[in-house]
A = this chain, B = another copy of it.
Amino acid sequence: MISIKALEEKILKEGQVLPGNVLKVGSFLNQQIDTAFLKEMGKEIARLFGGSGVTKILTVEASGIAIAVAAAFEMEVPVVFAKKGGAKNMSNDRLCAEVKSFTKGTVNTISVDREFIKEQDKLLIIDDFLADGNALRGLLSIANQAKATVIGACTAIEKGFQGGGDALRSEGIRVESLAILDEMADGKIKFRLQNDVM
């Protein structure tokens, strides 16, 4: 099982703080994937949300897919990932939401074929990063349009100082993050103390 400490140490060791509050963790999470570490993160998500009746994991392409698959292998549920933009192999009957990307500075429409999320689904929403919370809100909107139940949301790394996670929590949504950064000023990282996460 991953300990929160292992992820925090990895962020401190391999993460790079770039200008504009961008944290680069490309060496293990969202460009190169440390597979053994990813598997441990999947186990920790399964521990946090096991027994809560999750029927499906919902994420958004691209970098949410790896951690969603790792968790889904442990929880033995399917993954659905929302797509950005359009393609020939998409149906017209889609659930859509607008999402602003913090790292790209663009607004994307994300969408899921309506057939893949049903009213009886109990969803766990997963993403790699939580900053302003825009991606999670887009996925919540899609879940709500499908009238599915949202059990909660889980991300690998939350930039707590941007407030997106706490805003969602204050609205009564269970949001877990394997590591929460409360400060990232001048390249110095300070983590939030958490009791739930191991």
Most B-side CB within 10 Å, residue of A31, A78, A112: A31
**A84 surroundings in chain B (CB, below 8 A):** 62
| Interface pair B78/A33, CB less than 8 Å apart | yes
Which residues in B have their C-beta under 8 angstroms from that of A72? 33, 35
Please tell me if A13 contacts chain B, counting CB pairs below 8 Å: no
CB<8 Å pairs between A and B, sample of 13: A20-B88, A23-B89, A31-B80, A31-B116, A32-B78, A33-B69, A33-B80, A35-B69, A35-B76, A35-B77, A66-B79, A69-B69, A88-B105
CB of A73 within 8 A of CB of B35, answer yes
Q: How far is the CA of A23 from the CA of B89 in the complex (A)?
A: 7
- Tell whether, in the assembled complex, residue B73 and residue A87 are in contact, meaning their CB atoms are under 8 Å apart: no
Select from chain B the residue with minimum beta-carbon distance to A70.
B69
Please classify how large the interface on chain A is, using the bins under 10, 10 to 19, 20 to 34, 35 or more. 35 or more
- Residue of A30, A66, A115 most packed against chain B (CB within 10 A): A66
Q: Does A120 contact B (CB under 8 A)?
A: no
A78 is contacted by which of B34, B62, B77, B91 (Cβ under 8 Å)?
A: B34
* Chain A positions 20 through 34: 1 when the CB is less than 8 Å from some CB of chain B, otherwise 0: 101110110011111
> CB distance B73 to A33 under 8 Å?
no
CA distance A172 to B22 in the complex (A): 42
Interface core residue of A27, A32, A112 (most chain B CB under 10 Å): A32
- Knowing A79-B32, A80-B31, A89-B24 touch, does A39 contact B116 (C-beta < 8 A)? no
**When A and B form their complex, which 4 residue pairs have the shortest distance between CB atoms, in order from nearest?**
A61-B62, A62-B62, A33-B79, A65-B65
Output the nearest chain B residue to A77 by Cβ-Cβ distance.
Answer: B35
Contact A104 B87 (CB under 8 A): yes
A53 contacts chain B at the CB level, 8 A cutoff: no
